Amino acid sequence: MTKKALPTNRDHKWVYLFTEGNTTMKMLLGGKGANVAEMTNIGLPVPPGFTITTETCNAFYDYSRQFPEGMWTQAQESLKVLEKQTKREFGNPKKPLLVSVRSGASISMPGMMDTVLNLGLNDETVVGLAKQTKNERFAYDSYRRFISMFGHIVMGVQSDRFDFVLDRFKSQNPGGKDTDLSVAQLKDIIAAYKNIIFAHFHGEPFPQDPLDQLRMAISAVFESWMRRRAIDYRRIHRIPDTLGTAVNVQAMVFGNMGSNSGTGVCFTRNPSTGENDIYGEYLLNAQGEDVVAGTRTPQKITRLARELPLVYAQLTEIITKLETHYRDMQDIEFTVEAGKLWILQTRTGKRTGTAAVRIAVEMVEQEMITHEDAVLRVDADLLNQLLHPMVDPKTKAPTLTTGLPASPGAATGKVSFDPDEAEELSNAGEPIILMRHETSPDDFHGMAAALAILTARGGMTSHAAVVARGMGTPCVVGAEEVYLDYEAGIAYVGETEIRAGDWITIDGSTGRLLLGKVNTIQPELGSSFNKLMKWADDIRKMQVRANADNGHDAALAREFGAEGIGLCRTEHMFMGEERLAVMREMILAEDRGSREKALDKLLPIQRQDFIDIFKAMQGHPVTIRLLDPPLHEFLPDHEQLTLEITDLKLSLRDAASIAEMDAKLKALAEKNALLDQVERLREANPMLGHRGCRLGLIYPEVTEMQARAIFQAASELRSQGLQIEPEVMVPLVSTAPELKNQREIVERVAKEVLNSYGMDYSYKIGTMIETPRAALTAGKVAGEADFFSFGTNDLTQTTFGLSRDDSTRFLPSYIKSAILPADPFQVLDQEGVGELIKLATQRGRSTKADLKVGICGEHGGEPQSIWFCNEVGLDYVSCSPYRVPIARLAAAQATLKKNAVA
């Protein structure tokens, strides 16, 4: 954890009674502590207690896992107040006070940290509790629960050791339930539990002093803040480690006192659908962990109206009061003790994307919140769930491994390791999931045929990730626990073997690989979604464009509300067997004349692609990037080609005729010629080699062909009445003269084409800022540019000196160690890359005040990155079509937050 200045004065307030807090103190008291204090203040039936602050958690780690000075004294003083409030005494056998010890961070992390119930029980107080309640079975049931929970959470004993003992005793009774256990059996279970702890700690008994129990439990909750599951949760949800957790110590109320007692959880609205109806479950004669653990089947909350009607009526009244008070859907935990209802906590309820949108819109219609509140209320990333199939939340299929969630959605299909086979099987009607080490343009046909893609290597901006997102295909990349043996047709994940043809499920929204067929559900966009998007569009200042490389994707982008194309990657148009063959012909040409002949074949293909995109966008701006990747990417893999040559040589001796020998020799000569060219074009560091504008500088005929195709397509459509104004983007510029050179070629070709059509219309020529030098010299570059578009994928690579694919091997360790707050290829690095964007924007506009500036890397669809783009004054963001709604909502939220600060 990052250290920060902490109070050292022993008089510093570390502990707050529930009566001293309120909901505005969330950062200090945690969400749970602030909310129970708020509920106490508005008169709801809340068991009394106190909260140890989040500051204490940070101090605990800074002081080598010791309580800060004064904290334990304040906790004991608050415990005395609690004794007066409850008229019970902590550790007194005659009238024992028992407490729960619960975590509570300022940002809800359900199930990630620890809770201990029934604390204060020992061999003496359990006897007193039995006499006080006149319910011996309840007392000993509570004691056995406390020992197993404390032994596991606080003392670190494996929970299955306690479960084994419990199951053995339950099996002795006909019903086989824990509620059927007799007092004698419970006492035997307690003795067995103690023996487990005694043996585990080599003769150290279960602690009997309640104050020792409390001190140990508080420490355990603080310890749980830095346990792996909590750390992993924070990484995924980008929650800072420095927030810390509070600890809530609360007087116990008991749901296991008999048939008029119970415990439950309910939501003020359905968290899955958003329906405005109470949703939840409860168990009679149970404690909270019984509902969560699944040891008994809970009942639907509506049944409580029949079993405890007065309690249910009071609960529904409180539910309405809490939702009205907090103006949001609430997740409420309650306990009924001997017919009396107690509210243990309330918090803003977690919900699906569908529910989030519906609840926000309906609360506006019910005049509970404003349009602006509704826009801020919905987590932009949750919209992913509305746009793609999801794994059915009820599924119980095992997760084999988790990679990077490169493209959202879920799909179930049969495994194929070969793109040719994937295409063939898909054409035959088989549902296919393609698994590869990594993908290349040669794999495109198989990728296009697959329902989902998984690669063992690569990052969020790898070939597989970018192509899959563009197609809207679920994709998981960087699943490094997957080992692929192409020859054997087997993938190994630990001890699990997945063979070609086996069924698997890919969850591209979470990065999971699941074994077998798993049900997926298809969310539907409805009127609530459309209303929310309209409110967002009315609020936001930045435009939202899409990255699209063909007419289909462009049309999809328009359906999702894109206001133009911010990045059309022309190299993606050459994927596919026929197009790739022509592209290779151009690359392998030995002179300019031969190269131009091949380019003449590519010209009509490019032109038609541009016509399709321009048509789909119906006059909205379209930014077309000239050829960017190094040429070797369009050629076969060197290693694969070498193996093919070796196989051909070996097969010569098996030729059955002279004709077959001649055919093989011809094929061998062609392969060798191809290998020569592959070796000629090989580069030690191709991503920093002969690519981008450098291709156009050395081979100007490539730039000429692409410019001709762009302006012929635009002119053709303008002759049909469509108002097309193309934007030509030159990639990987580092100096103003590079852009000047390419601009002159484009302008010359544009003039030729426009004259041939007898037209005169405006167009823009700009550049992609992808290198630190281009950003630093943006004032000079702007002299040759009509617009800037930040290619943040490459700008991040060149700024950090990181390979976006290879860095997946160590970036998780950087993030886990808090060296970096997040993967910079997923969330824009505002401190470094962001500073270059800010600087380049300022310097560019100092040269041209009306310079249009946008972003077209994948960061353009990430909410935190969008917020930054809005802060520095960019005109637009551009992202994959399926993230356009997310960007629209996030841009509106960024505007509202900026206005609030102003």
Q: Looking at the annotation, which residues are catalytic?
A: 463, 856
- Report the distance separating Cα 365 and Cα 360, nearest Å: 9
The number of angstroms, rounded, from the C-alpha of 228 to the middle of its chain's C-alpha atoms is: 18
Task: Report angle CA 335, 336, 337 to the nearest 5 degrees.
Answer: 115
- Report the distance separating Cα 841 and Cα 829, nearest Å: 16
Residue 851 contacts residue 845 (beta carbons within 8 Å): yes
User: Taking the CB of residue 653, how many other CB atoms lie within 10 A of it?
Assistant: 7
- Report the distance separating Cα 401 and Cα 636, nearest Å: 31
Instruction: Determine the 3-state secondary structure of 534 from DSSP.
Output: helix
Q: Which two tokens stand for residue 746?
A: 């484009």
Per DSSP (E only), the strands in 726-823 are 726-730, 764-769, 787-790
Query: Residue 802: which region, alpha, beta or left (left: phi > 0; alpha: psi -120 to 50)?
Result: beta
Instruction: Determine the 3-state secondary structure of 477 from DSSP.
Output: strand
Residue 743 contacts residue 784 (beta carbons within 8 Å): yes
Cα torsion 280, 282, 287, 291: sign: negative
E strand or H helix at 842: helix 833-847
Residue 716 contacts residue 639 (beta carbons within 8 Å): no
Instruction: Determine the 3-state secondary structure of 644 from DSSP.
Output: helix
Distances 797 to 360, 687, 801, 824, 828 between C-alpha atoms, Å: 39, 10, 5, 9, 12
- Report the distance separating Cα 850 and Cα 836, nearest Å: 19
DSSP state of 662: H
Strand partners, 101: 116, 249
- Report the distance separating Cα 19 and Cα 84, nearest Å: 14
Task: Report angle CA 260, 262, 267 to the nearest 5 degrees.
Answer: 130
- Report the distance separating Cα 359 and Cα 357, nearest Å: 6
Q: Which two tokens stand for residue 624?
A: 């077309």
Nearest Cα residue to 895 out of 577, 613, 618, 537: 537
E strand or H helix at 127: helix 125-133
Q: Which two tokens stand for residue 843?
A: 């310097």
Burial 711-721 (b: 16+ CB within 10 A, else e): bbbbbbbbeee
E strand or H helix at 404: strand 404-407
Burial 780-806 (b: 16+ CB within 10 A, else e): bbbebbbbbbbbbbbbbbbbbebebbe
Nearest Cα residue to 335 out of 261, 402, 280: 261
Q: What residues contact residue 84 under an 8 Å CB cut-off, 6+ apart? A: none
DSSP state of 298: P
Q: Which two tokens stand for residue 806?
A: 């290879």
Residue 665 contacts residue 656 (beta carbons within 8 Å): no
- Report the distance separating Cα 168 and Cα 854, nearest Å: 66
Instruction: Determine the 3-state secondary structure of 554 from DSSP.
Output: helix
Please give the single-letter amino acid code of residue 271. Answer: P
What's the residue count for the chain?
A: 902
Instruction: Determine the 3-state secondary structure of 868 from DSSP.
Output: helix
Could you identify the residue written with the tokens 């191709």? 686
